[in-house]
Amino acid sequence: MPQTVEIRFKGNRRDFFEWEHEDDPLKLNEPVVVAVDRGLDLGRVNTTGAAALAKCGGCTSCSPEDAPSDAASAPDTPSARPSVVRRASVAEIAQHEELRRGEEDARRAVIERVNAHGLPMRVSDTEWQWDRNRLTVYFTAERRVDFRSLVRELATAFRARIDLRQIGVREEAARLGGVGRCGRELCCSTWLTEPGPVNLALAKDQRLSLNPAQISGGCGRLLCCLKYEHEFYVTSRKRFPKEGKIVQTLLGAEKVIAVDILRERVSLRTEGGASRVIALLELRDEMAKAPTSEPSA
């Protein structure tokens, strides 16, 4: 049975392939040459075996319409994944690194031509396919851009197929990388391949500052990590009385001013204006012992 592997390319781009040599399995981080649409590309093994199969669940890379038509792909399987052609040699790795060094020059050349055409788009990154048959240009734009004449000009200049891909600011941050507020490399450029929706309600539920400068990431959007602990806060808050509620304690009627989930403390204020902070367990004990107020006649 062929070995299923996940291959990592530049900018955290990943795809799934099959390695036919079962007796000589691929290892993690091993450089390989793979069959892609209209050519070959070079990447490194990111996941193998059962882990790769689990991550591949629901992907579209094995659908018949997306499978490459090269002879390198398995023709006898109706929905075969593209194939790993071979392990990369030292010379092929050197060629790959040379292309990477030249991509910044290509990006500058693309930016010059974009400015010459007066197109409202920002070029984020460029990526050469290993066989140099394709140059992918990643850009961001506020609206739809007609770049047909630009593509023709770039194809002539680079003598390669030009693929312009419009991406969002989150994907741009994932491709360019960086360090987050936590001091670690951005999640989206390391392990978080599919960021989910993030909205302001997540910050409100966690009682965080709504200052955009404090809850936004390098992409200018809300931090993806806001949702990591959101379920914990929502679940924990159910154990506390709601803010603004009047509770009966041993001191009488008191209003809940604030709750501290992490320290499990509650801030209360009496009708006379006196404030105090009490542990949640102590508050529950007082509420259980407090006499119930008699309804007025």
Q: Beta partners for 136?
A: 127, 163
3-state secondary structure of 19: strand
Report if pTM > 0.85.
Answer: no
pLDDT for res 62: 54
**CB 48, CB 28: distance < 8 Å:** yes
Residue 212 CA to residue 183 CA, distance in Å, equals 19
Q: Rounded to an integer, what distance in angstroms lies between the CA atom of residue 218 and that of residue 170? A: 9
Distance (Å, whole) CA 164 – CA 139: 7
Cβ(172)–Cβ(140) below 8 Å? yes
What is d(CA 44, CA 26) in angstroms, rounded to the nearest whole number? Answer: 10
> Inter-axis angle of helices 148-158 and 90-117, to 10 degrees?
140
pLDDT in single tens digits along all 297 residues of the chain: 788 999 999 988 889 999 998 888 999 999 999 999 889 999 999 999 888 888 876 554 454 444 444 434 434 443 468 999 999 999 999 999 999 999 999 999 999 999 999 999 999 999 999 999 999 999 999 888 899 999 999 999 999 999 999 998 888 888 888 888 888 988 888 888 777 789 999 999 888 889 988 899 988 899 999 999 999 999 999 999 999 999 999 999 999 999 999 999 999 999 889 999 999 999 999 999 988 755 443
Superfamily of domain 93-167 in CATH is K homology (KH) domain (3.30.300.20)
The per-residue pLDDT for 293 is 54
**pLDDT at 49 (0 to 100):** 84
pLDDT at 297: 35
Burial of 16 (0-12, 13-18, 19+ CB in 10 A): buried
Instruction: Give the residue from 58, 14, 54 showing the smallest Cα distance to 36.
Output: 14
Q: Check residue 16 and give its pLDDT.
A: 93
